[in-house]
Amino acid sequence: MTHSSAPTPIARTHPLPSGHPPVAFGKIGLLLVNLGTPDATDYWSMRRYLKEFLSDRRVIEVPRLIWWPILNLVILTIRPKRSGHAYEQIWNRERNESPLRTITRAQSEKLAQALAGEVVVDWAMRYGTPAIAERIEALKQAGCERILVMPLYPQYAAATTATVNDKVFDTLKAMRWQPAIRTLPPYHDDPVYIDALARSIERSIAALDFEPERVLASFHGLPKSYFDKGDPYHCHCHKTARLLRERLGWPKERLTLTFQSRFGRAEWLQPYTDATVEALAKSGVKRIAVVSPGFSADCVETLEEIAMQNRDIFLENGGENFAALPCLNDSAEGMELLEHLARRELRGWL
């Protein structure tokens, strides 16, 4: 579904009574949701995106009285330019958009083909555009009385999955006539997900002109305090890595779990990806690959932070060959997974 106009209501078998206002009904909707993207790389576009993201109380749990001045007086003054530069390195210039937007759209279009005639498929971003509220309203206007929301985060965290669900239900609060909603649970240990990851990794490594001595499974980081409060994210990441290692048939030392993208001075989940990359290079390891199992689509964290920043760290400290393996994206394996998850969660509705 494109976002240029509202979806076209599907024809009904029974006409409405004479004089009844026009209304579409009887359809099932599906909304893919990813983290978010700025609309452009300039200062004000980046500032608008970062403000929405970093104002989310689930993302930053620091008390408002402390966080608000830091965010508005320091971070939103300095960070937009730095983040804009990172996005500039990976920007899809042909479409004038971020790769995350390009890939999420492609996932939506391919899933719509796979579920043709059964489900109205759309996509949204938690931060930035297209907004969750806008796309839920569009699905409702298309006649979707039941909507499956699929946050594309394999491992649950309050700062990702929960904040998507918060926004969905905030949208419903403003509706007189609400659609029924289902939300996708975490799928960190789903056998189809693990198999899709393994096949994608095997294919990507086979295409390299070198054999990695070590492979890092790099997940997005989280403040350690969130884990201490009971967030299951750390455990989900470790289970994914263990199951993936077992599926690949690799020894424990071949696949190492790390955490990237830490922000601020507080302690985050360890080991850190950048520190591990540096330590491996200094220890004499010459060839490594990094895979990002927690990301359903390539984005600034994988294409710039891993493929550029961490590559530089590795090469500057004695490494020779570095590969950033692609996410599942809209690959055959990735789309098999999304269709599997959709059909599993839509049982009883279809």
CATH of residue 291: 3.40.50.1400
pLDDT at site 342 = 98
Query: For residue 248, is it within any domain?
Result: yes
Residue 225: CB atoms within 10 A of its CB come to 13
Quick one: 214 and 340 in the same domain? no
Quick one: 107 and 49 in the same domain? yes
Quick one: 31 and 166 in the same domain? yes
**320 close to 289: Cβ distance less than 8 angstroms:** no
Residues 335 and 197: their CA atoms lie apart, in Å, by 12
Which residues of the chain are under the pLDDT cut of 50?
4-13
pLDDT at site 26 = 87
Quick one: 36 and 182 in the same domain? yes
Quick one: 221 and 318 in the same domain? yes
Query: For residue 16, is it within any domain?
Result: no
Quick one: 212 and 165 in the same domain? no
Query: For residue 308, is it within any domain?
Result: yes
Q: Is the pTM of this model over 0.75?
A: yes
pLDDT at site 74 = 96
Query: For residue 6, is it within any domain?
Result: no
Quick one: 41 and 164 in the same domain? yes
pLDDT at site 25 = 77
pLDDT at site 1 = 57
Quick one: 174 and 315 in the same domain? no
pLDDT at site 163 = 98
Residues 179 and 346: their CA atoms lie apart, in Å, by 15
pLDDT at site 290 = 98
Domains of the chain: total? 2
pLDDT at site 3 = 57
Q: What is the extent of the structural domain holding 316? A: 191-324
Quick one: 234 and 159 in the same domain? no
β-pairing, 321-324 vs 287-291, is parallel
Report CA-CA distances (Å) from 168 to 131, 134, 157, 187, 192.
Answer: 10, 10, 16, 19, 27
Quick one: 95 and 161 in the same domain? yes
